[in-house]
Amino acid sequence: MMQVISPLKGFSIAATDGDIGAVVDFLFDDSTWNVRWLVVECGTWLKGHKVLIHPSAISSIDFEEELFEVKLTKAQVEGSPDPFEDLPVSRQMQARLYDHYGFDPNWGSPSFVAASGAMASPLMATPYFGFASAEAPTGVEEADVSDDPHLRSFVEIVGYGIHAKDGEIGHLENFMLDTTSWTVRYLIVDTSHWWFGKRVLLATFAATEIDWSDRRIQVSATREQVKTSPIWDPMVAFNEIYAKQLHHHYGWPGMSA
């Protein structure tokens, strides 16, 4: 199912034996566009704590109640490693989380790679530092091999400028997420500063470069292609007919006309 990602922020997380907290962010891999972690702020139960929950732990989504049910107990969550104790969030810390919960680190990856492949080498910024100072902790080198330079925050990337081959077209407003594989399939681009009132969808594999220092994403389309693309109406559910029209317009793989 395709779902705009921002409304999922604020969804409650229900363990098998009670509430854990609410989603405040999503961390994704900028080389595959897979959502790797849900950042959950615990409520009064573990006041002041944030934990990372893997999408594979989700057993069901209730959109009306704005609720994720997870196959975890509160004791499992409470006893999990603190993901922010050795900032930035490192590969080693993620491995500890995978081991603690029994998560599969490759969950969701094969289907994405088979469908569209990974994005070509983006320009790397400092890795995601969680919810602390943007400065590295004392003794931690910015380019440490334990860092995970591909782990990115949805909250951080919203607002990045989107640049076509021949000029700027707008800014990143949102993601379109496949909640089956938890892969970001499309960038939702607000073009209102260039082309009043229109939002467009661009496939993530059309992103050829991300410049983290300049907060911009380069895409392989032209301004004319974007201007003549099928209109995306956020009030209308994403469907296969629209997807085929979109992919045919840009000549993208994955959908036949």
Which H or E run includes 101? Answer: helix 91-101
Match domain 2-110 to its CATH number in 2.30.30.240, 3.40.50.980, 1.10.3720.10, 3.30.70.20: 2.30.30.240
Among the residue ranges 4-13, 39-48, 57-66, 136-145, the one predicted with the least confidence is 136-145
pLDDT > 90: percent of the chain: 57
The mean pLDDT value of the chain amounts to 82
DSSP string for residues in 117-186: -PPP-PBP-PPP--SS-SSPPTT--TT-TTB-TTEEEHHHHTT-EEEETTEEEEEEEEEEEETTTTEEEE
Peptide bond before residue 110 is cis, with ω within 30 degrees of 0: no
CA-based nearest residue to 184, from 36, 59, 66: 36
Q: What is the pLDDT of residue 233?
A: 87
**Cβ neighbours, 10 Å, residue 180:** 10
Region 205-222: mean pLDDT is 94
Q: 140 or 170, which is more confident?
A: 170
Q: Where are the domains of the chain?
A: 2-110
User: Distance (Å, rounded) from C-alpha 98 to C-alpha 109?
Assistant: 15
Could you tell me the maximum CA-CA distance found in the chain, to the nearest angstrom? 55
CA-based nearest residue to 21, from 9, 34, 6, 3: 9
Listed in sequence order, the residues at least 6 apart from 109 whose beta carbon sits closer than 8 Å to its beta carbon are 32, 34
Partners of residue 19 on adjacent β-strands = 14
Residue 247 is encoded by which pair of tokens? 């992919």
- Strand 67-70, strand 12-15: pairing: parallel
Q: What is the pLDDT of residue 128?
A: 36
pLDDT digits (tens, 9 = 90+) for 22-77: 999 999 998 899 999 999 999 888 888 899 999 999 999 999 999 999 999 999 99
User: Distance (Å, rounded) from C-alpha 165 to C-alpha 120?
Assistant: 16
